[in-house]
Amino acid sequence: MDSSQEIDIDKIVRSRMGSRARWLPRFVTRWLGRLIHIDFINSYLKQGREGIDFCEGVIEVLGVDLTVEGRENLPTDGRVCTFVSNHPLGAIDGVTLGGIIGRAYDGRIKYLVNDLLMNLKGLAPLCIPINKLGAQGRDFPQQVDEAFRSDNHIIMFPAGLCSRLIDGQIHDIPWRKAFLKKSIQTERDIVPVHFIGENSPRFYRVAKWCKRLHIKFNLAMLLLPDEMYRSRGNHYTVRFGRPIPYQTFDQSRSLNEWARWVEEEVYRL
């Protein structure tokens, strides 16, 4: 058992708050630890799993049942691709795709993820951190460029946030075009992925009220570890579509329009 893998939630919160941390009562971080099931998370982290083994272990310990369709669409000719998926769950979908795609390509994958996930040391080697709460580090553009020019497959959730309840349907917010821009530059085909699942009604209520009250901090994000914990024993379906050649994305549409087109293709799967 590797105790060095454990998360100290109080330390993480205070480090992100900077000088304001002195006003934060310790009972708040204890409450937060209970909310995210920190004891359950740390008990898993102590196993010391890393990389693809970490991803597969999460699915194993949660007892999640998966149906995977379209494995034959995973390229086997040596080309590297950008895998783009909707983001209905915010946690399970990420590690599931990491496990499936990573196993298919001997661990040659990289995620673009919220930088908070870098605290999961077993997952960190697969990640390029995105700072959702502040300015990016000066080396971030270089990290992204190096990842896209490497022999690693890239996994992205172009919405940037997990899905919301929109007009009565669980759906991503509009996709950003960055995945297309970098993929075209580095001549990577796009593999569309549809992950079928949803969080609890509570999650969508919190997200809705945050939007209505114009709360800038993503409170719903705090619920994602609990949503993951509640997913024990659930069944999900993952569908891989046929690769879309990067040459498809010509000047007939803007990159934003092409991003919307790929998003629609994902939901058609």
174 SS3 class: coil
Alpha helices, H only, the chain: 9-17, 26-35, 38-45, 51-62, 92-104, 140-148, 178-185, 201-212, 219-222, 224-230, 255-268
The band of 135, judged by pLDDT with boundaries at 50, 70 and 90, is low
With beta carbons less than 8 A apart as the criterion, state whether 179 and 191 touch: no
Task: Encode burial over 5-20: b for 16+ CB neighbours within 10 A, e otherwise.
Answer: bbbebbeeebeeeeee
Domain with CATH 3.40.1130.10 in the chain: 64-268
Amino acid 83: pLDDT: 98
14's tokens: 């205070």
Chain mean pLDDT for the chain: 88
Q: How many percent of the chain have pLDDT more than 90?
A: 58
Query: Which is higher by pLDDT, 178 or 117?
Result: 178
Name the CATH architecture for the domain at 64-268.
Answer: 3-Layer(aba) Sandwich (3.40)
What pLDDT band is residue 139 in, cutting at 50, 70 and 90? low
pLDDT band at 255 (very low <50, low <70, confident <90, very high): very high
Prediction pTM value: 0.89
Report how far residue 259's alpha carbon sits from residue 213's, in angstroms, rounded to the nearest whole number: 29
